[in-house]
Amino acid sequence: MATNIQSVAPRWQPPRAAGERNYPYNCWWVAAFSDEVGRALLGRWLLETPVLLFRKENGEIAAIENRCPHRGAPLSLGCLNGDTVQCGYHGFTFDEAGKCINVPSMRAPLPAAQIRAFPVVEQHPFIWIYLGDPSAIDSVPAPPKLDWAEDGRFAIVSGRLDVEANYMLLKENVLDLTHFGYVHASTFQITDWVDPPAFSTKGETTSYHQTFTRTPLPPVFAEPLGLAPGTLYDRDNYGSFVSPALQVAAVDLKDPDSGEVAGRFRVSHATTPIDERSMYYFWVAGRDHGTSEAELAALKALTERGFAEDETMIEAIEALRRKDPRGAAAPEVSVKMDTAGIQARRIVQRWMTRETA
Ligand code: FES
Ligand SMILES: [Fe+2]
């Protein structure tokens, strides 16, 4: 006899409603640098989701919910046995797929104690994670690749900042580089970025391109090329908002007489919301010149100092916004230089709209 009773899997629901956040779940985000995840359990909040990351015995990455369904202990306080995770509270044990394979007090598995497992992709130097609707994963763009990070001619340095600010504040920061002359006047010493660059938007990517012709090279670009700071040189600066998770930027340093590219500098900014008010900021910088150990150590130290300046500024903006009772009604004026930042906001809005459609 036919029945109208059907078994329907519960529809995926985001941990926070779309109207209360400005980041999409149906998107690949950076969970960690590859070298942060090994045979120790790593717990991390990503998009208000508790995530446990570990490297399996075969070297692949696993990601499951970092919350035991028994009494809510973080599984990161437990231990890794082979490729299974034992909760540190009462010993429930889970496999890499989030299946409960043993409850010590029952001496048996407990299928009802299933937790989520998340798709992950390791692409040097990042581990990407998908935390959204499982049924939508095939319709979202794949994690973007940093081709230069895999190019043997480039040496890279990287770091992570845990920033108390909404992730879009960092996106807008790296899309308006006129801030260099103010925030980084004493670190990067790039003080000639005054005019708005050329802007373009193609699909869901918004970009800028700025050219400097026969202008004095700041030390950060001159020294790795073996040139004196202030040498007149050409610089091509361009960058793109690739996805809500990733921004990339490039500087090609060109000999003004021959037009040859003498050095390539690249930097990427991956930001992953912890929640509405905080983010992980994973940065990677690389270049194909000035690659000695000492030069790279100097690049890393300078970049850390410079990006800490951005952190101070955007954390102060976030704190001010939170205290201002006018909230989103507080005045905000924009100028031509904000073109890419405004496009980025619109692109994120479209990601959100697609998610809730
Ligand atoms: S809370 Fe994990 S086994 Fe009890
Ligand atoms: Fe900056």
| Residue 89 CB–ligand 1 contact under 6 Å | yes
Say how far apart CA 128 and CA 74 lie, in whole Å. Answer: 21
Kindly report the CATH number assigned to the domain that includes residue 155: 3.90.380.10
On the question of pLDDT at 140 being above 70, the answer is yes
Ligand with the closest atom to the CA of 267: 2
Supply the mean pLDDT for the chain. Answer: 95
Q: What is the largest CA-CA distance in the chain?
A: 87
Residue that is last in its domain, among 116, 139, 162: 139
Does the C-beta of 71 come closer than 6 Å to ligand 1? yes
Residue 38 is part of which domain span? 18-139
Confidence of residue 1 (pLDDT cuts 50, 70, 90): very low
10 located within any domain: no
At residue 261, the pLDDT reads 98
85 to 79, 94, 109: CA distances (angstroms): 6, 5, 13
- The answer to whether position 300 is within a domain reads yes
Q: Is the pLDDT of residue 292 over 50?
A: yes
What are the tens digits of pLDDT across the range 320-337? 999 999 988 899 999 999
Q: Check whether 260 has a pLDDT greater than 80.
A: yes
Are residue 163 and residue 301 in the same domain, yes or no?
yes
pLDDT exceeds cutoff 80 at 7: no
Q: Whose CA is nearest to atom 4 of ligand 1?
A: 90
Same domain, 118 and 43: yes
* 48 and 131 together in one domain: yes
Q: Average pLDDT for residues 75-103, to the nearest whole number? A: 98
Band of pLDDT at residue 4, cut at 50, 70 and 90: very low
Q: Are residues 169 and 254 in the same domain?
A: yes
Indicate if 103 and 159 belong to the same structural domain: no
Within a domain: residue 11?
A: no
The Cα angle at residue 55 between residues 9 and 46, in degrees rounded to 5: 55
Comparing C-alpha atoms, which of 338, 44, 294, 57 is closest to residue 302? 294
Q: What percent of the chain has pLDDT over 70?
A: 97
Say which residues have a Cβ less than 8 Å from residue 301's Cβ, sequence separation at least 6.
none
Residue 6's pLDDT band, with cuts at 50, 70 and 90, is very low
Burial group, residue 95, by CB count within 10 angstroms (0-12, 13-18, 19+): middle
Q: How far, in Å, is the centroid of ligand 1 from the Cα of 103?
A: 9
* pTM beyond 0.85, yes or no: yes
Q: Is residue 169 part of a domain?
A: yes
CATH number at residue 105: 2.102.10.10
Q: Which of 139, 170, 192 is the last residue of a domain?
A: 139
Q: Are residues 317 and 267 both part of a single domain?
A: yes
Judged against a pLDDT cut of 90, whether residue 49 lies above it is answered with: yes
Let me know if residue 349 belongs to a domain.
yes
pLDDT band at 10 (very low <50, low <70, confident <90, very high): low
| pLDDT tens by residue, 12-46 | 889 999 999 999 999 999 999 999 999 999 999 99
- Residue 79 sits in the same domain as residue 110: yes
Report how many domains make up the chain. 2
40 within 8 A of 54, measured Cβ to Cβ: yes
What is the per-residue pLDDT for 246?
Answer: 98
Residue from 66, 76, 92 whose mutation best tests the ligand 1 pocket (most atoms within 8 A of CB):
92
Regarding whether 292 and 341 lie in a shared domain, the answer is yes
Instruction: Inform me whether the pLDDT recorded for 60 exceeds 50.
Output: yes
User: What residue owns the CA closest to ligand 1's atom 3?
Assistant: 90
Residue 205 class from Cβ within 10 Å (0-12 exposed, 13-18 middle, 19+ buried)?
Answer: middle
Asked whether residue 5 is domain-assigned, the answer is no
- 3-class DSSP state of 183: helix
101 domain-assigned: yes
How many Å apart are CA 291 and CA 6, to the nearest integer? 62
Rounded mean pLDDT of 96-124?
97
pLDDT at 2: 36
Q: Domain end: 111, 139, 167, which one?
A: 139
Q: Kindly indicate the confidence band of residue 5, based on its pLDDT and cuts at 50, 70 and 90.
A: very low
